[in-house]
């Protein structure tokens, strides 16, 4: 990628020189934006945000890069387009087409048509390309049904290469007609604008959060105080300590970090005794109230899938007292146990101060 030098600003220059300098600066802005999106897409594609100490791409963007939520969603959408359209990505990286044209192509191209659109963009002016894209979008037929696949990518377990890993993710497919798909996409967009989506969450997280809200509303209660909205059953071998969760599709093995996070805040049933909560319900309720029923990870503050985490692990002498406990969402909790990040418990005074 060529290097562009910004012109030094000076007032009272001749009109022609001001125009030339402005054009040079605008070109530099476009190339800088193009470069930033390519690097951002690389962070997303390889999951590098986790190695950089963040549980989600959104937390990395807002906390490390200083993005607003709107800027994050803009970059995320563009990065998704580059992942979806590899031919477009190569054309952008090589300089075959510029950033402005690439954004237009992404609006209309599919995996099958991306090559043709890239070739067209390379020999077509910006305004003409924009007109052709607009016409193509207006002519695009509406499919009678669409398939939405929720597939959460496997997450690496830091420092656990030699340990057993979780089973690969399972696809959950939903079929929708044109109206249902449009409603789904409109509701997802509105949920993002209203700030209702768990920070860093994907579409599956959004669906689960919606189901959790439905269950909570039907029960007229706030389930996080006494326990989760729905309970899952985990079987663990007492000899090898491997564990699996029971599902309709059979048992799914858990990674060590998943198991240790779940064990932080669970009810344990042993064959020779009654089930016992790892944290007393009264203490759990107090911690959740202290943390205002939100994840304590800076920048996250999710109100969904809340769990209580031991800041100092019990295996290292940590207690079940409130000062050693902190509220985390499931994503941040698992990330803390993977060793990718650390979480500091909030003192009551800090929480009360907002």
Q: In whole angstroms, what is the distance from residue 130 CA to residue 110 CA? A: 17
Q: Check residue 123 and give its pLDDT.
A: 93
Q: Which two tokens stand for residue 140?
A: 């695009």
Q: Which two tokens stand for residue 134?
A: 């607009």
Q: Check residue 203 and give its pLDDT.
A: 75
Q: In whole angstroms, what is the distance from residue 169 CA to residue 155 CA? A: 10
Report which secondary-structure segment, H or E, holds 247.
Answer: strand 243-247
Q: Which two tokens stand for residue 133?
A: 């894209």
Closest CA to 135 of 117, 147, 150, 151: 117
How high is the mean pLDDT of the chain? 79
pLDDT level of residue 276 (50, 70, 90 thresholds): confident
pLDDT level of residue 130 (50, 70, 90 thresholds): very high
Query: Which of 10-24, 65-79, 291-305 is most confident?
Result: 10-24
Higher pLDDT, 41 or 354: 41
Higher pLDDT, 154 or 193: 193
Q: Which two tokens stand for residue 8?
A: 């030094």
Average pLDDT over residues 317-327: 91
């Amino acid at each position: 990628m060529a290097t562009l030098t910004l012109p030094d600003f000076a007032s009272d220059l001749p009109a022609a020189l001001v125009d030339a300098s402005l054009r040079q600066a605008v070109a530099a802005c476009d190339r800088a934006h193009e470069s930033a999106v390519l690097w951002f897409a690389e962070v997303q594609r390889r999951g590098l945000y986790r190695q950089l100490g963040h549980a989600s791409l959104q937390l990395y963007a807002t906390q490390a890069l200083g993005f607003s939520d709107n800027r994050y969603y803009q970059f995320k959408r563009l990065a998704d387009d580059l992942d979806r359209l590899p031919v477009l990505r190569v054309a952008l990286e090589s300089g075959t087409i510029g950033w402005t044209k690439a954004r237009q192509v992404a609006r209309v191209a599919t995996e099958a048509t991306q090559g043709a659109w890239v070739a067209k963009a390379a020999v077509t002016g910006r305004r003409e390309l924009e007109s052709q894209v607009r016409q193509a979008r207006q002519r695009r037929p509406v499919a009678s049904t669409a398939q939405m696949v929720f597939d959460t990518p496997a997450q690496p377990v830091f420092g656990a290469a030699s340990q057993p890993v979780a089973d690969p993710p399972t696809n959950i497919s939903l079929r929708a007609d044109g109206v249902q798909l449009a409603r789904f996409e409109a509701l997802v967009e509105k949920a993002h604008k209203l700030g209702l989506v768990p920070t860093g969450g994907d579409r599956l997280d959004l669906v689960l959060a919606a189901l959790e809200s439905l269950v909570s509303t039907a029960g007229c209660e706030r389930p996080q105080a006494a326990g989760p909205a729905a309970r899952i059953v985990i079987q663990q071998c007492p000899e090898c300590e491997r564990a699996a969760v029971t599902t309709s599709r059979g048992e799914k093995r858990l990674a060590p970090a998943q198991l240790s996070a779940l064990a932080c805040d669970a009810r344990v049933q042993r064959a020779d005794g009654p089930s016992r909560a790892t944290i007393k319900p009264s203490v759990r309720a107090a911690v959740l109230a202290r943390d205002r029923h939100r994840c304590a990870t800076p920048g996250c503050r999710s109100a969904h899938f809340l769990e209580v985490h031991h800041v100092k692990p019990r295996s290292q002498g940590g207690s079940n007292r409130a000062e050693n406990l902190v509220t985390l969402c499931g994503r941040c909790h698992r990330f803390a146990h993977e060793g990718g990040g650390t979480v500091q418990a909030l003192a009551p005074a800090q929480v009360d101060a907002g």
